[in-house]
A and B are shown apart, each in its own frame.
Chain A
Amino acid sequence: MSIDLKTIKHISKLSRVSVDDQKAEKLANDLNSIFKFIEKLNELKTDKVEPLTSVAETTLKLRSDEVKSNNIREQIVKNSPQDNEDYFVVPKVIE
Protein backbone atom coordinates (compact mmCIF):
# COMPACT_ATOMS: atom_id res chain seq x y z
CA MET A 1 0.00 0.00 0.00
CA SER A 2 1.18 3.48 -0.69
CA ILE A 3 -0.17 6.84 0.39
CA ASP A 4 -0.28 9.25 -2.56
CA LEU A 5 -0.57 13.04 -2.67
CA LYS A 6 -4.30 12.86 -3.21
CA THR A 7 -4.70 10.89 0.03
CA ILE A 8 -2.48 13.36 1.90
CA LYS A 9 -4.67 16.23 0.69
CA HIS A 10 -7.75 14.30 1.81
CA ILE A 11 -6.35 13.62 5.30
CA SER A 12 -5.24 17.23 5.60
CA LYS A 13 -8.81 18.34 4.90
CA LEU A 14 -10.17 15.92 7.51
CA SER A 15 -7.66 17.09 10.10
CA ARG A 16 -8.04 20.79 9.26
CA VAL A 17 -4.35 21.31 8.72
CA SER A 18 -3.52 23.14 5.50
CA VAL A 19 -0.74 21.48 3.53
CA ASP A 20 1.03 22.93 0.47
CA ASP A 21 2.47 20.73 -2.28
CA GLN A 22 5.99 20.69 -0.90
CA LYS A 23 4.82 19.72 2.58
CA ALA A 24 2.44 17.13 1.11
CA GLU A 25 5.32 15.42 -0.67
CA LYS A 26 7.41 15.24 2.51
CA LEU A 27 4.42 13.96 4.51
CA ALA A 28 3.70 11.28 1.90
CA ASN A 29 7.28 10.04 2.19
CA ASP A 30 7.23 10.03 5.98
CA LEU A 31 3.84 8.37 6.23
CA ASN A 32 4.80 5.70 3.73
CA SER A 33 7.88 4.74 5.73
CA ILE A 34 5.87 4.76 8.98
CA PHE A 35 3.08 2.63 7.48
CA LYS A 36 5.60 0.18 6.06
CA PHE A 37 6.73 -0.31 9.64
CA ILE A 38 3.13 -0.58 10.90
CA GLU A 39 2.21 -3.23 8.28
CA LYS A 40 4.02 -5.74 10.50
CA LEU A 41 0.78 -6.13 12.44
CA ASN A 42 -0.70 -8.01 9.47
CA GLU A 43 1.50 -10.98 10.38
CA LEU A 44 -0.82 -11.65 13.30
CA LYS A 45 -4.19 -13.37 13.13
CA THR A 46 -6.53 -11.48 15.42
CA ASP A 47 -10.02 -12.58 14.37
CA LYS A 48 -10.85 -13.99 17.78
CA VAL A 49 -9.12 -11.34 19.90
CA GLU A 50 -11.17 -8.81 21.83
CA PRO A 51 -9.90 -5.26 21.28
CA LEU A 52 -8.43 -3.51 24.32
CA THR A 53 -9.74 0.03 24.64
CA SER A 54 -8.55 0.80 28.15
CA VAL A 55 -6.24 -0.91 30.60
CA ALA A 56 -8.17 0.57 33.51
CA GLU A 57 -10.55 -2.27 34.28
CA THR A 58 -13.29 -0.09 35.65
CA THR A 59 -16.53 1.04 34.14
CA LEU A 60 -16.85 4.76 33.74
CA LYS A 61 -18.23 6.30 36.88
CA LEU A 62 -21.28 8.51 36.83
CA ARG A 63 -21.34 11.63 38.94
CA SER A 64 -24.34 13.46 40.27
CA ASP A 65 -25.65 16.24 38.11
CA GLU A 66 -24.60 19.20 40.25
CA VAL A 67 -23.29 22.61 39.35
CA LYS A 68 -19.84 22.95 40.89
CA SER A 69 -18.36 25.91 39.06
CA ASN A 70 -20.38 29.11 39.09
CA ASN A 71 -19.75 32.37 37.32
CA ILE A 72 -16.58 31.35 35.53
CA ARG A 73 -17.47 33.06 32.26
CA GLU A 74 -14.56 35.44 32.65
CA GLN A 75 -12.15 32.55 33.17
CA ILE A 76 -13.50 30.74 30.14
CA VAL A 77 -12.98 33.59 27.69
CA LYS A 78 -9.78 34.82 29.33
CA ASN A 79 -7.45 32.94 27.00
CA SER A 80 -9.38 33.45 23.79
CA PRO A 81 -7.31 35.05 21.01
CA GLN A 82 -10.16 37.41 20.16
CA ASP A 83 -13.15 38.03 22.37
CA ASN A 84 -15.88 40.51 22.86
CA GLU A 85 -16.21 40.32 26.66
CA ASP A 86 -18.90 37.68 26.70
CA TYR A 87 -18.31 35.82 23.45
CA PHE A 88 -15.71 34.03 21.38
CA VAL A 89 -15.26 35.89 18.11
CA VAL A 90 -14.69 34.02 14.83
CA PRO A 91 -14.54 35.12 11.20
CA LYS A 92 -17.96 35.76 9.69
CA VAL A 93 -19.78 32.50 8.82
CA ILE A 94 -23.03 33.90 7.36
CA GLU A 95 -22.88 36.08 4.26
Chain B
Amino acid sequence: MSDITKQSLSELVRNIKNKKVSSEEITKEFVNRSEKSKELNAYITEDYSSALDKAKKFDQKPNLNLKLPGIPIAVKDLFCTKDIRTTAGSKILNNFAPTYESTVTQNIWNEGAILLGKLNCDEFAMGSSNETSFFGNVQNPINKNLVPGGSSGGSASAVAGQLTPITIGTDTGGSIRQPASFTGIVGLKPTYGSCSRYGIVAFASSLDQAGPMAQNVKDCALLQEVISTYDSKDSTSINFKRNEYSKELTNNIKGKKIGIPKEYRVDGMPKEIEDLWQKGINYAKDCGAQIIDISLPHTSYALPTYYIVAPAEASSNLARYDGVKYGFRAKGENLIDMYEKTRSEGFGAEVQRRIMIGTYVLSSGYYDAYYLKAQKVRKLIKNDFDEAYKKVDAILTPSTPSAAFKIGEKKDDPVSMYLNDIFTVPVNLAGLPGISIPAGHDSKGYPLGLQIIGKAFDEQNILNIAYAMEEKIDFKNKITDWWIK
Protein backbone atom coordinates (compact mmCIF):
# COMPACT_ATOMS: atom_id res chain seq x y z
CA MET B 1 0.00 0.00 0.00
CA SER B 2 1.47 3.33 -1.02
CA ASP B 3 1.74 6.48 1.02
CA ILE B 4 1.11 4.81 4.33
CA THR B 5 2.81 7.60 6.25
CA LYS B 6 0.47 10.16 4.68
CA GLN B 7 -2.57 8.46 6.18
CA SER B 8 -4.23 9.74 9.29
CA LEU B 9 -4.47 7.58 12.39
CA SER B 10 -8.16 6.90 11.72
CA GLU B 11 -7.38 5.68 8.19
CA LEU B 12 -4.56 3.45 9.43
CA VAL B 13 -6.77 1.94 12.11
CA ARG B 14 -9.54 1.30 9.57
CA ASN B 15 -7.16 -0.30 7.07
CA ILE B 16 -5.60 -2.52 9.68
CA LYS B 17 -9.03 -3.60 10.94
CA ASN B 18 -10.12 -4.39 7.36
CA LYS B 19 -6.88 -6.37 6.95
CA LYS B 20 -5.82 -4.19 4.02
CA VAL B 21 -2.48 -3.64 5.67
CA SER B 22 -0.46 -5.28 8.44
CA SER B 23 1.12 -3.69 11.47
CA GLU B 24 4.52 -4.73 10.09
CA GLU B 25 3.92 -2.92 6.79
CA ILE B 26 2.83 0.24 8.59
CA THR B 27 5.68 0.10 11.08
CA LYS B 28 8.25 -0.47 8.32
CA GLU B 29 7.04 2.62 6.46
CA PHE B 30 7.24 4.87 9.51
CA VAL B 31 10.66 3.46 10.44
CA ASN B 32 11.94 4.05 6.89
CA ARG B 33 10.67 7.59 6.82
CA SER B 34 12.04 8.29 10.30
CA GLU B 35 15.44 6.98 9.20
CA LYS B 36 15.42 9.29 6.18
CA SER B 37 14.49 12.23 8.41
CA LYS B 38 17.49 12.45 10.72
CA GLU B 39 18.03 16.06 9.72
CA LEU B 40 14.87 17.05 11.58
CA ASN B 41 16.51 15.73 14.80
CA ALA B 42 13.04 14.81 16.05
CA TYR B 43 14.19 11.66 17.85
CA ILE B 44 16.43 11.41 20.90
CA THR B 45 16.19 7.61 21.14
CA GLU B 46 15.14 5.30 18.31
CA ASP B 47 13.63 1.92 19.04
CA TYR B 48 13.03 0.75 15.47
CA SER B 49 14.18 -2.86 15.57
CA SER B 50 12.13 -3.72 18.59
CA ALA B 51 9.18 -1.84 17.03
CA LEU B 52 9.43 -4.12 13.98
CA ASP B 53 9.62 -7.19 16.21
CA LYS B 54 6.55 -6.09 18.12
CA ALA B 55 4.69 -5.43 14.86
CA LYS B 56 5.48 -8.93 13.59
CA LYS B 57 4.29 -10.35 16.87
CA PHE B 58 1.09 -8.32 16.67
CA ASP B 59 0.37 -9.63 13.15
CA GLN B 60 0.75 -13.24 14.27
CA LYS B 61 -2.18 -12.86 16.65
CA PRO B 62 -3.83 -9.54 15.84
CA ASN B 63 -6.38 -8.22 18.30
CA LEU B 64 -8.41 -5.96 16.04
CA ASN B 65 -10.79 -4.89 18.80
CA LEU B 66 -8.18 -2.60 20.26
CA LYS B 67 -8.30 1.15 19.63
CA LEU B 68 -4.73 1.46 18.36
CA PRO B 69 -4.20 -2.01 16.84
CA GLY B 70 -0.53 -2.43 15.89
CA ILE B 71 -0.09 1.31 15.34
CA PRO B 72 3.52 2.54 15.73
CA ILE B 73 3.81 5.68 17.84
CA ALA B 74 6.77 7.81 18.94
CA VAL B 75 6.31 9.74 22.19
CA LYS B 76 7.85 12.79 23.85
CA ASP B 77 10.96 11.87 25.82
CA LEU B 78 9.37 13.11 29.03
CA PHE B 79 7.34 9.91 29.54
CA CYS B 80 9.10 7.15 31.45
CA THR B 81 9.28 4.02 29.33
CA LYS B 82 10.38 0.84 31.06
CA ASP B 83 13.98 -0.12 30.21
CA ILE B 84 14.13 2.50 27.46
CA ARG B 85 16.24 5.56 27.99
CA THR B 86 14.22 8.58 29.13
CA THR B 87 16.20 11.82 29.11
CA ALA B 88 13.74 14.74 29.35
CA GLY B 89 16.13 16.40 26.89
CA SER B 90 18.74 16.75 29.63
CA LYS B 91 22.35 15.71 30.08
CA ILE B 92 21.54 14.92 33.71
CA LEU B 93 19.26 12.04 32.59
CA ASN B 94 21.40 11.02 29.60
CA ASN B 95 21.79 7.45 30.85
CA PHE B 96 18.53 7.02 32.73
CA ALA B 97 16.52 3.88 31.87
CA PRO B 98 13.35 3.84 34.00
CA THR B 99 12.39 0.62 35.74
CA TYR B 100 8.71 1.46 35.35
CA GLU B 101 6.25 2.75 32.74
CA SER B 102 4.23 5.98 32.82
CA THR B 103 0.45 5.46 33.04
CA VAL B 104 -0.24 7.43 29.86
CA THR B 105 2.18 5.37 27.74
CA GLN B 106 0.96 2.15 29.37
CA ASN B 107 -2.56 3.13 28.29
CA ILE B 108 -1.53 3.37 24.63
CA TRP B 109 0.38 0.04 24.71
CA ASN B 110 -2.68 -1.58 26.31
CA GLU B 111 -4.66 -0.50 23.23
CA GLY B 112 -2.18 -2.14 20.89
CA ALA B 113 0.22 0.70 20.04
CA ILE B 114 3.93 0.03 19.46
CA LEU B 115 6.75 2.34 20.56
CA LEU B 116 8.82 3.78 17.67
CA GLY B 117 11.09 5.93 19.79
CA LYS B 118 11.42 8.90 22.11
CA LEU B 119 11.04 12.40 20.73
CA ASN B 120 13.16 15.47 21.33
CA CYS B 121 11.95 18.25 23.62
CA ASP B 122 13.22 21.28 25.49
CA GLU B 123 15.21 20.32 28.57
CA PHE B 124 12.71 19.34 31.30
CA ALA B 125 10.05 20.85 28.99
CA MET B 126 11.39 24.34 29.73
CA GLY B 127 11.34 26.25 26.47
CA SER B 128 9.23 27.42 23.56
CA SER B 129 11.51 26.55 20.64
CA ASN B 130 13.12 23.18 21.42
CA GLU B 131 16.48 24.98 21.53
CA THR B 132 17.19 24.15 25.18
CA SER B 133 17.46 20.39 24.52
CA PHE B 134 20.84 18.82 25.36
CA PHE B 135 20.34 16.80 22.18
CA GLY B 136 20.22 19.81 19.88
CA ASN B 137 17.47 21.84 18.27
CA VAL B 138 14.74 20.34 16.11
CA GLN B 139 13.94 21.47 12.57
CA ASN B 140 10.39 22.44 11.64
CA PRO B 141 9.23 20.35 8.63
CA ILE B 142 7.59 23.51 7.28
CA ASN B 143 10.93 25.17 6.57
CA LYS B 144 14.63 24.71 7.27
CA ASN B 145 16.06 26.73 10.17
CA LEU B 146 12.60 27.39 11.57
CA VAL B 147 11.87 26.33 15.16
CA PRO B 148 9.08 23.76 15.61
CA GLY B 149 8.05 25.46 18.85
CA GLY B 150 8.39 23.88 22.25
CA SER B 151 8.62 22.24 24.49
CA SER B 152 7.04 19.33 22.56
CA GLY B 153 9.03 20.36 19.46
CA GLY B 154 10.22 16.88 18.47
CA SER B 155 6.65 15.62 18.84
CA ALA B 156 5.22 18.38 16.64
CA SER B 157 7.96 17.95 14.04
CA ALA B 158 7.44 14.17 13.97
CA VAL B 159 3.67 14.42 13.41
CA ALA B 160 3.87 17.23 10.84
CA GLY B 161 6.76 15.44 9.07
CA GLN B 162 4.80 12.15 9.16
CA LEU B 163 7.41 10.20 11.14
CA THR B 164 4.64 9.03 13.48
CA PRO B 165 0.86 9.05 12.86
CA ILE B 166 0.16 10.66 16.24
CA THR B 167 2.05 11.42 19.42
CA ILE B 168 1.67 12.43 23.02
CA GLY B 169 3.23 15.58 24.40
CA THR B 170 2.99 17.49 27.66
CA ASP B 171 1.79 21.03 28.24
CA THR B 172 2.75 23.15 31.26
CA GLY B 173 2.34 26.61 29.71
CA GLY B 174 1.61 25.88 26.04
CA SER B 175 4.05 23.09 25.21
CA ILE B 176 1.51 21.12 23.15
CA ARG B 177 -0.55 23.93 21.62
CA GLN B 178 2.26 26.31 20.61
CA PRO B 179 4.32 23.70 18.68
CA ALA B 180 1.11 22.31 17.17
CA SER B 181 0.35 25.82 15.92
CA PHE B 182 3.92 26.30 14.58
CA THR B 183 3.83 23.06 12.58
CA GLY B 184 0.24 23.03 11.30
CA ILE B 185 -1.13 20.18 13.40
CA VAL B 186 -3.76 19.70 16.13
CA GLY B 187 -2.79 19.61 19.82
CA LEU B 188 -4.99 19.23 22.89
CA LYS B 189 -4.08 20.20 26.45
CA PRO B 190 -6.65 18.36 28.58
CA THR B 191 -8.19 19.53 31.87
CA TYR B 192 -5.77 19.28 34.79
CA GLY B 193 -6.38 15.88 36.38
CA SER B 194 -7.63 14.25 33.18
CA CYS B 195 -4.44 12.38 32.22
CA SER B 196 -2.27 10.80 34.88
CA ARG B 197 1.06 12.49 35.66
CA TYR B 198 2.48 9.20 37.00
CA GLY B 199 5.79 8.49 35.29
CA ILE B 200 6.06 11.85 33.55
CA VAL B 201 9.29 13.69 34.40
CA ALA B 202 7.94 16.51 36.56
CA PHE B 203 8.36 20.20 35.70
CA ALA B 204 5.63 22.18 37.48
CA SER B 205 3.25 19.75 39.11
CA SER B 206 0.23 22.03 39.49
CA LEU B 207 0.33 22.84 35.76
CA ASP B 208 1.76 19.77 33.94
CA GLN B 209 -0.66 17.81 31.79
CA ALA B 210 -0.14 15.20 29.04
CA GLY B 211 -2.15 15.39 25.84
CA PRO B 212 -2.51 14.20 22.25
CA MET B 213 -1.01 15.74 19.09
CA ALA B 214 -2.35 14.64 15.71
CA GLN B 215 -2.95 15.55 12.09
CA ASN B 216 -6.65 16.14 12.64
CA VAL B 217 -9.27 16.58 15.35
CA LYS B 218 -10.75 13.09 15.04
CA ASP B 219 -7.36 11.42 15.64
CA CYS B 220 -6.80 13.75 18.55
CA ALA B 221 -10.16 12.74 20.06
CA LEU B 222 -9.34 9.04 19.68
CA LEU B 223 -5.98 9.38 21.38
CA GLN B 224 -7.47 11.47 24.19
CA GLU B 225 -10.01 8.70 24.75
CA VAL B 226 -7.14 6.25 25.26
CA ILE B 227 -4.83 8.31 27.46
CA SER B 228 -7.38 9.93 29.78
CA THR B 229 -7.98 7.56 32.69
CA TYR B 230 -8.33 7.90 36.43
CA ASP B 231 -5.14 6.76 38.18
CA SER B 232 -4.70 6.23 41.90
CA LYS B 233 -0.93 6.61 41.43
CA ASP B 234 -1.40 10.34 40.70
CA SER B 235 -2.77 12.11 43.77
CA THR B 236 -4.32 14.87 41.61
CA SER B 237 -5.91 12.52 39.07
CA ILE B 238 -9.63 13.22 38.98
CA ASN B 239 -12.29 10.55 38.83
CA PHE B 240 -14.94 11.93 36.47
CA LYS B 241 -17.03 10.35 33.76
CA ARG B 242 -14.90 10.39 30.64
CA ASN B 243 -16.54 10.47 27.23
CA GLU B 244 -15.74 8.24 24.31
CA TYR B 245 -14.46 11.35 22.63
CA SER B 246 -14.03 10.00 19.09
CA LYS B 247 -17.37 8.16 19.03
CA GLU B 248 -19.27 11.12 20.42
CA LEU B 249 -17.56 13.60 18.11
CA THR B 250 -20.05 15.75 16.20
CA ASN B 251 -19.80 18.78 13.94
CA ASN B 252 -23.17 20.03 15.10
CA ILE B 253 -22.35 23.04 17.25
CA LYS B 254 -25.46 25.07 16.45
CA GLY B 255 -26.29 27.53 19.20
CA LYS B 256 -23.04 27.02 21.07
CA LYS B 257 -21.96 30.25 22.70
CA ILE B 258 -18.36 31.15 21.92
CA GLY B 259 -16.66 33.97 23.80
CA ILE B 260 -14.15 36.39 22.30
CA PRO B 261 -11.98 37.92 25.05
CA LYS B 262 -11.03 41.50 24.25
CA GLU B 263 -7.87 41.35 26.39
CA TYR B 264 -6.30 38.93 23.92
CA ARG B 265 -5.95 41.79 21.44
CA VAL B 266 -2.46 42.53 22.75
CA ASP B 267 -0.24 45.46 21.81
CA GLY B 268 1.91 44.83 18.79
CA MET B 269 -0.06 41.80 17.65
CA PRO B 270 0.64 41.29 13.93
CA LYS B 271 -2.26 42.05 11.61
CA GLU B 272 -2.05 38.50 10.27
CA ILE B 273 -3.00 37.14 13.68
CA GLU B 274 -5.80 39.67 14.04
CA ASP B 275 -7.11 38.62 10.59
CA LEU B 276 -6.82 34.93 11.42
CA TRP B 277 -8.83 35.45 14.58
CA GLN B 278 -11.55 37.28 12.65
CA LYS B 279 -11.57 34.46 10.11
CA GLY B 280 -12.02 32.01 12.97
CA ILE B 281 -14.94 34.03 14.32
CA ASN B 282 -16.57 33.92 10.88
CA TYR B 283 -16.06 30.16 10.60
CA ALA B 284 -17.60 29.65 14.03
CA LYS B 285 -20.60 31.73 12.95
CA ASP B 286 -20.87 29.69 9.73
CA CYS B 287 -21.09 26.59 11.91
CA GLY B 288 -24.07 28.08 13.70
CA ALA B 289 -22.27 29.19 16.85
CA GLN B 290 -23.21 32.39 18.61
CA ILE B 291 -20.35 34.85 19.14
CA ILE B 292 -20.29 36.78 22.41
CA ASP B 293 -17.79 39.43 23.50
CA ILE B 294 -16.34 38.67 26.91
CA SER B 295 -13.70 40.04 29.22
CA LEU B 296 -10.89 38.20 31.01
CA PRO B 297 -9.54 41.27 32.85
CA HIS B 298 -6.42 39.68 34.39
CA THR B 299 -5.03 38.22 31.17
CA SER B 300 -1.94 40.43 31.12
CA TYR B 301 -0.97 39.18 34.58
CA ALA B 302 -0.91 35.53 33.53
CA LEU B 303 2.67 35.39 32.22
CA PRO B 304 4.25 37.13 35.24
CA THR B 305 2.24 34.77 37.49
CA TYR B 306 3.36 31.76 35.48
CA TYR B 307 7.01 32.80 35.71
CA ILE B 308 6.79 32.68 39.48
CA VAL B 309 4.63 29.57 39.95
CA ALA B 310 6.30 27.34 37.34
CA PRO B 311 9.94 28.00 38.33
CA ALA B 312 9.04 27.71 42.03
CA GLU B 313 7.56 24.27 41.48
CA ALA B 314 10.41 23.35 39.13
CA SER B 315 13.12 24.31 41.62
CA SER B 316 11.50 22.03 44.15
CA ASN B 317 10.85 19.15 41.69
CA LEU B 318 14.38 19.29 40.29
CA ALA B 319 15.98 19.10 43.73
CA ARG B 320 15.91 15.32 43.25
CA TYR B 321 18.74 15.46 40.69
CA ASP B 322 21.68 15.19 43.03
CA GLY B 323 23.93 12.69 41.26
CA VAL B 324 23.27 10.03 43.88
CA LYS B 325 20.24 7.92 42.99
CA TYR B 326 20.23 8.13 39.19
CA GLY B 327 21.49 10.23 36.32
CA PHE B 328 24.72 12.09 35.71
CA ARG B 329 27.29 12.63 38.47
CA ALA B 330 30.26 15.00 38.36
CA LYS B 331 33.35 14.41 40.48
CA GLY B 332 33.53 16.57 43.58
CA GLU B 333 35.94 17.04 46.45
CA ASN B 334 33.22 16.31 48.98
CA LEU B 335 29.48 15.62 49.03
CA ILE B 336 28.34 19.25 48.69
CA ASP B 337 30.90 19.96 46.00
CA MET B 338 29.67 16.86 44.13
CA TYR B 339 26.04 18.07 44.31
CA GLU B 340 26.91 21.56 43.11
CA LYS B 341 29.11 20.42 40.23
CA THR B 342 26.67 17.69 39.17
CA ARG B 343 23.83 20.20 38.91
CA SER B 344 25.97 22.89 37.31
CA GLU B 345 27.32 20.55 34.63
CA GLY B 346 24.17 18.43 34.27
CA PHE B 347 21.55 21.16 33.79
CA GLY B 348 21.53 23.55 30.82
CA ALA B 349 21.34 27.35 31.04
CA GLU B 350 17.55 27.75 30.86
CA VAL B 351 16.94 25.09 33.51
CA GLN B 352 19.51 26.70 35.82
CA ARG B 353 17.89 30.09 35.23
CA ARG B 354 14.48 28.74 36.26
CA ILE B 355 15.88 26.89 39.28
CA MET B 356 17.42 30.21 40.38
CA ILE B 357 14.17 32.14 39.90
CA GLY B 358 12.23 29.45 41.74
CA THR B 359 14.67 29.26 44.61
CA TYR B 360 14.65 33.03 44.94
CA VAL B 361 10.86 33.44 45.02
CA LEU B 362 10.56 30.67 47.60
CA SER B 363 13.44 31.89 49.77
CA SER B 364 12.99 33.40 53.19
CA GLY B 365 11.90 37.04 53.01
CA TYR B 366 10.61 36.81 49.42
CA TYR B 367 7.99 34.08 49.64
CA ASP B 368 5.07 36.41 50.43
CA ALA B 369 6.09 39.10 47.97
CA TYR B 370 6.41 36.70 45.05
CA TYR B 371 5.10 33.18 45.49
CA LEU B 372 2.07 33.94 47.64
CA LYS B 373 1.28 37.00 45.52
CA ALA B 374 1.39 34.84 42.37
CA GLN B 375 -0.94 32.26 43.90
CA LYS B 376 -3.42 35.01 44.67
CA VAL B 377 -3.28 36.42 41.16
CA ARG B 378 -3.69 32.88 39.87
CA LYS B 379 -6.98 32.80 41.77
CA LEU B 380 -8.06 36.04 40.06
CA ILE B 381 -7.21 34.56 36.66
CA LYS B 382 -9.26 31.47 37.40
CA ASN B 383 -12.15 33.66 38.63
CA ASP B 384 -12.09 35.49 35.27
CA PHE B 385 -12.73 32.22 33.47
CA ASP B 386 -15.40 31.14 35.96
CA GLU B 387 -17.23 34.42 35.32
CA ALA B 388 -16.89 34.11 31.55
CA TYR B 389 -18.25 30.56 31.57
CA LYS B 390 -21.49 31.80 33.09
CA LYS B 391 -22.11 33.39 29.69
CA VAL B 392 -20.35 31.15 27.16
CA ASP B 393 -19.63 27.47 26.44
CA ALA B 394 -16.13 27.98 25.05
CA ILE B 395 -13.61 30.71 24.22
CA LEU B 396 -11.87 31.33 20.89
CA THR B 397 -8.43 32.98 20.68
CA PRO B 398 -5.30 32.79 18.52
CA SER B 399 -2.90 30.06 19.73
CA THR B 400 0.24 32.18 19.50
CA PRO B 401 1.07 35.86 18.92
CA SER B 402 3.09 35.00 15.80
CA ALA B 403 4.02 32.18 13.42
CA ALA B 404 7.17 30.08 13.96
CA PHE B 405 10.39 32.08 14.18
CA LYS B 406 13.94 31.36 13.06
CA ILE B 407 16.27 29.14 15.05
CA GLY B 408 18.44 31.40 17.23
CA GLU B 409 16.18 34.44 16.83
CA LYS B 410 14.98 34.63 20.44
CA LYS B 411 17.48 32.39 22.15
CA ASP B 412 19.35 35.11 24.06
CA ASP B 413 16.32 37.05 25.25
CA PRO B 414 14.37 35.01 27.81
CA VAL B 415 11.54 37.51 28.18
CA SER B 416 10.80 37.72 24.44
CA MET B 417 10.86 33.91 24.35
CA TYR B 418 8.41 33.75 27.26
CA LEU B 419 5.99 36.10 25.47
CA ASN B 420 5.30 33.30 22.98
CA ASP B 421 3.08 31.64 25.53
CA ILE B 422 0.92 34.66 26.25
CA PHE B 423 -2.31 33.05 24.93
CA THR B 424 -1.69 29.55 26.24
CA VAL B 425 -0.41 30.11 29.80
CA PRO B 426 -3.74 31.38 31.31
CA VAL B 427 -5.35 28.03 30.39
CA ASN B 428 -2.79 26.08 32.44
CA LEU B 429 -3.08 28.45 35.38
CA ALA B 430 -6.85 27.86 35.43
CA GLY B 431 -6.49 24.10 34.79
CA LEU B 432 -8.78 24.19 31.73
CA PRO B 433 -8.71 22.21 28.49
CA GLY B 434 -7.51 23.98 25.34
CA ILE B 435 -7.05 22.80 21.78
CA SER B 436 -5.03 24.37 18.97
CA ILE B 437 -6.12 23.74 15.40
CA PRO B 438 -4.35 24.90 12.24
CA ALA B 439 -6.40 27.70 10.68
CA GLY B 440 -4.35 29.49 8.05
CA HIS B 441 -0.94 30.67 6.88
CA ASP B 442 1.01 33.89 7.30
CA SER B 443 2.52 35.79 4.36
CA LYS B 444 5.54 33.47 4.34
CA GLY B 445 3.32 30.42 4.16
CA TYR B 446 3.95 29.37 7.77
CA PRO B 447 0.99 27.85 9.63
CA LEU B 448 -1.04 29.73 12.23
CA GLY B 449 -3.31 28.20 14.84
CA LEU B 450 -6.51 29.05 16.65
CA GLN B 451 -7.16 27.99 20.21
CA ILE B 452 -10.48 26.88 21.66
CA ILE B 453 -10.62 26.91 25.45
CA GLY B 454 -13.27 24.91 27.30
CA LYS B 455 -14.78 24.53 30.73
CA ALA B 456 -13.06 22.04 33.02
CA PHE B 457 -13.81 18.43 31.93
CA ASP B 458 -15.57 19.69 28.79
CA GLU B 459 -13.08 18.22 26.31
CA GLN B 460 -15.92 16.81 24.21
CA ASN B 461 -17.34 20.26 23.60
CA ILE B 462 -14.08 21.87 22.42
CA LEU B 463 -13.28 18.81 20.31
CA ASN B 464 -16.70 19.19 18.67
CA ILE B 465 -16.16 22.90 18.00
CA ALA B 466 -12.68 22.17 16.63
CA TYR B 467 -14.11 19.37 14.48
CA ALA B 468 -16.80 21.63 13.02
CA MET B 469 -14.39 24.48 12.36
CA GLU B 470 -11.75 22.16 10.89
CA GLU B 471 -14.25 21.17 8.21
CA LYS B 472 -14.88 24.80 7.26
CA ILE B 473 -11.23 25.85 7.42
CA ASP B 474 -10.07 22.97 5.21
CA PHE B 475 -6.41 23.62 6.11
CA LYS B 476 -3.66 22.03 3.99
CA ASN B 477 -0.22 21.78 5.55
CA LYS B 478 2.57 22.76 3.16
CA ILE B 479 5.17 20.05 3.67
CA THR B 480 7.70 19.68 0.86
CA ASP B 481 9.89 16.94 2.37
CA TRP B 482 12.87 19.33 1.96
CA TRP B 483 14.92 17.32 4.48
CA ILE B 484 14.68 14.05 2.55
CA LYS B 485 17.61 13.69 0.15
Contact = CB atoms under 8 A, between A and B. Distances in A.
Are both chains from one complex?
yes
B315 to A, nearest CB: 6
Contacts, number: 163
B382 A14 contact: no
A92 to B, nearest CB: 7
A50 to B, nearest CB: 6
B335 A52 contact: no
B338 interface: yes
B329 A81 contact: yes
A18 B344 contact: yes
Interface string B375-389: 111111010000000
Interface in A76-95: 76, 78-82, 88, 90-93
Contacts of A71: none
Point out which of B99, B328, B332 has the most chain A C-beta atoms below 10 A from its C-beta.
B99
A53 B324 contact: no
A7 B366 CA distance: 12
Given A80-B326, A91-B332, A41 B238 contact: no
A49 interface: yes
When A and B form their complex, which 9 residue pairs have the shortest distance between CB atoms, in order from nearest?
A55-B431, A51-B375, A79-B326, A81-B329, A18-B340, A52-B379, A46-B376, A75-B99, A49-B376
Interface in A44-81: 44, 46, 49-56, 58, 60-61, 63, 72, 75-76, 78-81
B328 A17 contact: no
Contact of B305 (A17, A41, A76): A41
Nearest to A8: B356
A61 B235 contact: yes
A93 B326 contact: no
Contacts of B340: 12, 16-18
A30 interface: yes
Nearest to A55: B431
Interface in A14-39: 14-19, 27, 30-31, 33-34, 37-39
Interface in B40-63: none
B70 to A, nearest CB: 30
Interface residues of B, number: 71
Contacts of A49: 376-377, 379-380
A11 B360 contact: yes
A6 interface: no
B472 interface: no
Nearest to B321: A16
B334 to A, nearest CB: 5
A76 B343 CA distance: 21
Contacts of A93: 334-335
B431 A56 contact: yes
Contact of A16 (B100, B325, B343): B343
B379 A56 contact: no
Interface of A: 3, 7-8, 11-12, 14-19, 27, 30-31, 33-34, 37-44, 46, 49-56, 58, 60-61, 63, 72, 75-76, 78-82, 88, 90-93
Given A52-B378, A81-B327, A91-B335, A34 B307 contact: yes
B290 interface: no
A78 B97 CA distance: 9
Given A11-B356, A55-B431, A58-B193, 12 more contacts: A14-B359, A17-B344, A18-B337, A40-B301, A46-B376, A46-B380, A51-B375, A51-B379, A79-B96, A81-B324, A81-B328, A91-B338
B323 interface: yes
A38 B377 CA distance: 12
Given A11-B363, A16-B340, A40-B304, A79 B325 contact: yes
A79 B99 contact: yes
Given A63-B232, A79-B97, A16 B375 contact: no
A80 B357 contact: no
Contact of A18 (B304, B341, B429): B341
B238 A56 contact: yes
Contacts of A50: 376, 379
A11 B359 contact: yes
B300 interface: yes
Nearest to B356: A11
Nearest to B232: A63
Contact of A54 (B236, B307, B363): B236
Q: Which of A12, A43, A55 has the most CB of B within 10 A?
A: A55
Nearest to B380: A49
Contacts of A17: 340, 343-344, 347, 352, 355-356
Given A90-B338, A91-B332, A41 B375 contact: no
B182 interface: no
B377 A41 contact: yes
B377 A46 contact: yes
10 contacts: A3-B360, A11-B356, A17-B347, A19-B344, A38-B308, A51-B375, A58-B193, A58-B236, A81-B328, A91-B338
A30 B353 contact: yes
B324 A88 contact: yes
A56 B355 contact: no
Contact of A15 (B235, B303, B356, B372): B356
Contacts of B343: 15-18
Nearest to A92: B334
Interface string B114-130: 00000000000000000
